[in-house]
Amino acid sequence: MTETADELSAPLGQKTERKKRRFRLPFTAMQALAVLLGLVLVVFLSVALFTDNPLGGEPMARVALRKPADDQQPAASGQTEHAAKPGTPQAPAGENKTVTIIDGSSGKRQDVVIGSDAGDKAGAEPAMTMTGIDPRLLEKSRYGMIPAVADGLKPFTVYAADADRTKAAKMPVIAIVVGGLGVGAAKTTDAIMKLPPAVTLAFTPYGADPTKLAERARAQRHEILLQVPMEPFDYPDNDPGPQTLLTTLTSEQNLDRLYWHLSRFQGYAGIANFMGARFTATDSVMQPVIREAAKRGLGYLDDGSSPRSIASAQAIAQSMPFAKADFTIDAVPTSVEIDRTLVKLETLAKERGLAVGVASALPISIERLAAWTKTLEGRGILLVPLTTAMLKSKSG
């Protein structure tokens, strides 16, 4: 009450003045604030005057450069694909072209216009064709040249290695296929040079220069095959590689991927599965692939890794040259086990007249096979290329 009375009795304006004094900063605090503001001003002027930025103070705009969305370019191994048939014309240099993108999961289509120099590696045509290739047995696709049948000739017969088939018809024969080549020039060269010509060599499509290595193999009179990556049961944990044929894709999509593989090099007599336990056991996706390969005059080797494979029945239905491996020679990659498996091959060949073994290009495998093949005929068994074994099997 006393304070209220004092305020009421105070002269006009004194109350306001008293309140202002209550919130006024001490003189020393005002000095500190002034010094702080001065320092900020000095720093700002220093940056403006001494920083080497010719655009300082100019308005700027930032542009985010983004890669094309996933649904606008072909996937390496799984989700999107260009859809094109062999014979699709290529756009002239410097012009745009329209391609159809198919989503690998949903099958959704989308037309996209891209430049001819867009760098689509999967669509790039190989720079050269291998020597010794019959141009009549090639058909142009958007990926490059792929096998074809012409004038009654088939790649299977034209690119089969030389063999004494009359002799092969009269005695037990063994065919050996060494696969996984093309990736790793050193091991591929070892297989080409150290193994006899009667050994068939199978190349994956992923090497940096598969044409050069396949050409060298043919120059050494080896018969060659193309290994086509197919979906295993544990895909994608176990992934064969880009452009793998998948059970989740349509027939059109898988055939488009097949054309990519077929274009990687030329001169092969047939194809073989690379992995593919799930794919080769699925009739709806396997049948179109076998039918297409047969239409293009190729043989088919089943590597024997999947007991559920339907490749044999499909090949017979297409009158396609076919063989299935009886043993994987280096399933256990030791000298003892490899030699033991080779003895099993010999026994089977004598009992049945024919046996087929597959191996990878491990140094130990190449070493043991090179030594074994030198003594095989002395034991009454003939080493033959795979195509000879296929023909003998068909005639038998």
pLDDT tens, the chain, 396 aa long:
444 444 444 444 444 444 444 445 455 656 666 666 766 665 555 555 555 444 444 444 443 444 444 433 333 333 333 334 444 334 443 344 443 444 443 444 444 333 333 333 444 444 356 778 999 999 999 999 999 999 999 999 999 999 999 999 999 999 999 999 999 999 999 999 999 999 999 999 998 889 999 999 999 999 999 999 999 999 999 999 999 999 999 999 999 999 999 999 999 999 999 999 999 999 999 999 999 999 999 999 999 999 999 999 999 999 999 999 999 999 999 999 999 999 999 999 999 999 999 999 999 999 999 999 999 999 999 999 999 999 998 765
Sign of the torsion angle spanned by Cα atoms 192, 195, 200, 204 = negative
Phi, psi of 293, deg, nearest 5 = -65, -40
Looking at the DSSP bridge assignments, the partners of residue 356 are 175
Crossing angle of helices 251-262/283-295, nearest 10°? 40
User: Is domain 137-395 given the CATH code 3.20.20.370 in the classification?
Assistant: yes
> What residue spans in the chain does CATH classification 3.20.20.370 cover?
137-395
Give the single-character DSSP code of 153.
B
Model-level pTM?
0.69
